[in-house]
Structure 1
Amino acid sequence: MFADRSDAGERLADRLVEEGVDADLVLAIPRGGLPVGRVVADRLGAPLDVVVAVKLGAPGNPELALGAVAGDGSVWTNDEIVSRLGVDDAYLQEEQARAQAAASQKLREYRRGESLARLDGKRVVVVDDGLATGATALACVRQVQAAGADEVVLAVPVAAPDSTGRVRDEGARVVAVETPDSFGAVGQFYRDFRQVRDAEARSYLGERENEERGRGDRE
């Protein structure tokens, strides 16, 4: 049980150091991944930025992910869940349109509308506050790989064991503090799992924004 996301970040950072993970860049998945990612980035001595994806919610259960839309517009769907729930094409297309609009909004809020820059040769750690179905994480990992990263590590405080396998199948390394056999939802492993508001989430990027503002002033 983690006290909150900052505590989870400390314990995740400890695990990454123990496993000898180095990073040129830490990318957090907003919003919940940013408090965790801030701690990890500081410990690894790497800059913090964001990578965006929005899950496709199941009919009547939006927390269950049918897949995800990435910030670059690419779509990943979990065909097994889609088939098991009997989700029709009309619903899937409507949900994809909603998620694409939401992903574009997040890009505007967190990256001024810009997609990921080229990451050729970089070692990138992608951070979230937990891994349930893995849909958003997979979409983010694929974005980072498509941007040319040399090595991608997905780092989370807690993960469902079957989802870690899906991410590894994509060619990414997974580092998790806990992988409990009994997994219901990420929030059950936190004493404080309150929603992270956009303003709070952006505050963890203050250092990056100040650096960019300073570069702009010098130019």
Structure 2
Amino acid sequence: MYSPPPFQDRLDAGAQLAAALTHLHLRPQAGVVLALPRGGVPVAFPVAQALKLPLEVFVVRKLGLPSQPELAMGALAEGGVRLFNEDVLAHSGVSAAEIERVSGEEAQELDRRIRTYRGERPAPEVRGRTVILIDDGAATGANLRAAITALRAQEPARLVVGVPVGSAEAGQLLSQLADEVVCLHRPEMFYGVGQAYQNFDQTSDAEVLHLLKQAAPAPHQDGEP
């Protein structure tokens, strides 16, 4: 029997994810929601709103196989972190020169996205804070693994991963790296993140910038904690 996808779109997925994260009671100064752009931002926006936490991006780029760009052979993250999916590389036959070419291209795109989304804002301060790391899904988990590795070096107090949908394999890997993983939907037959969404259109730079502007915290009033 056909079952419709559990999420209408990324914003709906974020609203459902926010409900699953309400056990995290954090003051704005003690926590931050970090979204992997672009698709993670509309998912993270309702989470940040519901938990009353600041929202910022943490930029990661997938390293796709030259022959199958959608299949991650690794990922790059802010701070110079580069991780590889050894299982994928072992069966790919990709050369070292091809790996460096793809890495160089994605490093340029990573830098462009940091400039585009963050502008003059400094990188988010995570030391001693609870980080809620959000993406629109986890197929191999490569992007989230790279982000976790980069963020761990900055010594957050706690690192929570939240995704609307993920494969069992990605969930297992992420559970070994994060303090907590919240995944709403783990289909037995996982074909791709998009299978969980009725609308999985690509998120634009303009949408990312709009949501980040909307999420900007209001100035604290005198006497407010």
Asked if TM exceeds 0.5, the reply is yes
- Going from structure 1 to structure 2, the CA distance change for 1:46 and 1:202 (only over 3 Å counts) comes to same
Task: State how far apart, in whole Å, the 2-side matches of 1:135 and 1:113 are.
Answer: 28
Asked whether the 8 Å contact 2:148–2:178 carries over to 1, the reply is no
Is it true that 1:132 corresponds to 2:132 in the alignment?
Answer: no
Q: Does 1:13 align with 2:18?
A: yes
Q: Are 2:77 and 2:146, in contact at CA under 8 Å, matched by a contact in 1?
A: yes
Q: Please point out which of 192, 196, 199 is paired with 2:199.
A: 192
For 2:60 and 2:217, the matched residues in 1 are separated by 25
Opposite residue 75 of structure 2, the aligned amino acid is A
RMSD of equivalent CA atoms:
1.7
Any stretches of 5+ residues in structure 2 without a counterpart? 220-225
TM-score scaled to structure 2, two decimals? 0.88
Q: How does 1:157-176 map onto structure 2 within 5 Å? A: 157-176=164-183
The question of 1:95 aligning with 2:102 is answered: yes
Q: How far did 1:171 drift? A: 3.6
Alignment of 1:60-209 (within 5 A): 60-112=67-119, 116-207=123-214
CA–CA distance in structure 2, aligned partners of residues 132 and 44 of structure 1: 26
1:11-49 per-position Cα deviation (integer Å, ceiling 9, x unaligned): 1111112xx224511001111111110000011110100
TM-score, normalization by structure 1: 0.90
Q: Structure 1 regions of 5+ residues with no counterpart?
A: 213-219
Distance 1:147 1:73 in 2: 13
Distance 2:120 2:83 in 1: 21
- The one-letter code of the counterpart of 1:10 is A
Q: 2:223: which partner in 1?
A: none
Once the two structures are superposed, what CA deviation does each residue of 1:63-82 show, in whole Å capped at 9, x if it has no partner? Answer: 10001011212100011110
| Structure with the higher fraction of residues in helix conformation | 1
Runs of 4+ aligned residues of structure 1 deviating over 6 Å after TM superposition are none
